[in-house]
Copies of this chain bind each other. A is one copy, B any other.
Amino acid sequence: MSSTTPQPPADDVPRPPEVVRRLALLWDPPRPSGRGRRARLTLEDVVGAGTAIADTDGLDALSMRKVAARLGVGAMSLYTYVPGRTELLDLMIDRAFAELELPPADAPWRDGLAAYARAHWELFQRHPWILQTNMWRLPLTPAVLDAQECGLRTLVDTGLPERQVVEIVGLVDAFVRGLARSTVAEAAEKDASGQSNDEYWTSMSSFWADWFDPGRYPTMLRIWEAGGFDAEATPFDASMERLLDSVQMAIDRARDAR
């Protein structure tokens, strides 16, 4: 490939044998064979320990050694249950998405899509590390596909062309993730402030005082002074309503075109 064409990292595009092995554990869970030494743990234990670590300390703190230590087990023992860290993360994501309380199939599209978005929103609040996974897509796990199926189902009978259904669900996903990201970031900063005796905010305000050039960023200054950046009331619902309005418009337009 030409060196001028940007290439995403090969690491995230599994090579042939890998792509199957990576998902085998999820779609074809191994049943205990009865023979051989008894297992001290279950796969669920391992995934749960990983999730607990990621929930409290973030994804960077999730290492095989720490998961093993939390379970009182040698690091390499984990590899009996899980082929590697990548697959452990896939399993954690699947387990997390299985927690989603998805709307029923017969809900009106607007209620269904709103509930779909809100369920994700709450999930990301509970497991912010999902937003830290820097994969290109979510893994193709059962629970992730369940969620996708649910999202698509809300719109598939509205008369929208199939391609637009996919687009819109993608837009909703991106919106929820984006907003959850900044909300979590805000919470993290608030937390840092509490822990470090407001030195963090001192540093930050000195940044704004010393380096922020109001002449260069007049709009930001103006919005700041008008309180436009005070997001204590998260704008999730308002923005979501606006998004749903635009979906309504798309549906009306699709109906008119027929």
Contacts and interface: CB of A to CB of B under 8 A. Distances in A.
Given A170-B179, A196-B15, A220 B149 contact: yes
Contacts of A239: 167-168, 170-171
A52 to B, nearest CB: 7
A156 to B, nearest CB: 5
Contact of A128 (B6, B189, B230): B6
A59 B11 CA distance: 10
Contacts of A148: 220
Contacts of A12: 58, 60, 188
A119 interface: no
B3 A52 contact: yes
Interface stretch (A31-39, A41-49, A245-253): A245-253
A20 B55 CA distance: 28
A242 B250 CA distance: 7
Interface in A120-169: 125-129, 131-134, 136-137, 140, 142, 145-146, 148-149, 152-153, 156, 161-168
A19 interface: yes
Nearest to A228: B162
Contacts of A166: 223, 228-229, 231
Given A16-B203, A239-B171, A220 B152 contact: yes
A189 B8 CA distance: 9
Q: Which of A58, A153, A184, A187 counts the most chain B CB atoms within 10 A?
A: A58
Interface stretch (A73-81, A87-95, A204-212): A204-212
A81 to B, nearest CB: 20
Contacts of A164: 235, 238
A9 interface: yes
Q: Which of A60, A164, A170 counts the most chain B CB atoms within 10 A?
A: A170
12 contacts: A13-B189, A15-B199, A23-B207, A28-B211, A131-B136, A152-B219, A164-B238, A166-B228, A168-B242, A170-B239, A174-B175, A245-B249
Q: Closest 7 CB pairs between A and B?
A: A9-B58, A174-B178, A162-B228, A246-B246, A136-B185, A16-B199, A8-B188
